[in-house]
A = this chain, B = another copy of it.
Amino acid sequence: MTEFNITILGSNSAIFNHGRHPTAQVVNINNACFLVDCGEGTQERLYENKIKWFKIDHIFISHLHGDHYFGLIGLLTTFNLLKRTNKLTVFGPKELKKIIDIQLKVSNTKMNYELKFVATKDDEKRLLLDLPECSVYSIPLHHKLPTTGFLFAEKTEPRLLDLEKIRKYAIAKTDFKLLKQGLDVLDKDGRKVKNSAVTTKGKTPRSYAFCSDTMYHIPLVKAIKNVDLLYHEATFLHEDLQRAKETTHSTALQAAQIAKKANAKKLLLGHFSSRYIDLSVLENEAKTFFKNVELAIEGGVFKV
């Protein structure tokens, strides 16, 4: 089965604390790496977690609070110092380009590689990237600044040919493509062969949703319906609901509520407030409402 996993490089909120770093994670699908958010020090975390840097061709930035992007300029210029040549695309709020550009300009930095910016919008779910492995969508979140989450969805797999059964019918090889698409075909004698007689269902496409930062936001449910793995911020315990509302963040319980409503298979909690040294309190709270919960602990690799 194709590899599809998430490596957590950082999941603390706001500042470095208790040995925990600001948000960054790598989504690995079939050996293509996508970097999601890039807090300060992400390049060091990539190194520590043995991620092959040059496999990253796409970076997604959720919003412009510093704990989600202050490491970006350092990573982009380090790529340059290391003589990267392959194109890199950065998806993020439109002001991000200006911030990077001014820093490249004052240092007279000429990039060896093509650096492309794609501005995200937080108005509706939008397709950002369409690759053979997967599609990546932005998802509107509800936070103090314009913020999007990201949904990584494997492509719908073609139906699988059952070669043994196919041999019983005289089907032209040129029709195999139609069978994979789920269509019925005719055999060499002109008799109809039902698709289900010679194919089986392809692999069920999997999906991963990154949702940080956001307050409890019901419209999100529709955008991530039936997701396999949901990373949802859980900055606070529910006893701090008022603080969560003021800062437009979520509680662990609310993250669990979103996971349940979305029919997610598994919930990964992250973006932990520094007020919690022992994070199990957040995990336990979420588990009171949703069974399959894990903490997005730094260095953890989570299969989708």
Contact = CB atoms under 8 A, between A and B. Distances in A.
A-B pairs, top 10 by smallest CB distance, nearest first, are A95-B106, A40-B74, A64-B106, A70-B74, A41-B41, A15-B78, A66-B77, A16-B44, A64-B107, A14-B81
A163 interface: no
A145 interface: yes
Interface of A: 14-16, 40-41, 43-44, 47, 64-66, 70-71, 73-74, 77-78, 81-82, 93, 95, 98-99, 102-103, 106-108, 144-145
A16 B47 contact: yes
A73 B66 contact: yes
24 contacts: A14-B81, A15-B43, A15-B81, A15-B82, A16-B47, A40-B40, A40-B41, A40-B43, A40-B74, A41-B41, A41-B44, A64-B106, A64-B107, A65-B107, A66-B73, A66-B74, A66-B103, A95-B102, A95-B106, A98-B102, A99-B99, A99-B106, A102-B102, A108-B145
B107 A103 contact: no
A183 to B, nearest CB: 51
Given A40-B41, A41-B41, A102-B102, 9 more contacts: A15-B78, A15-B81, A16-B47, A40-B43, A66-B74, A70-B70, A98-B102, A106-B145, A108-B145
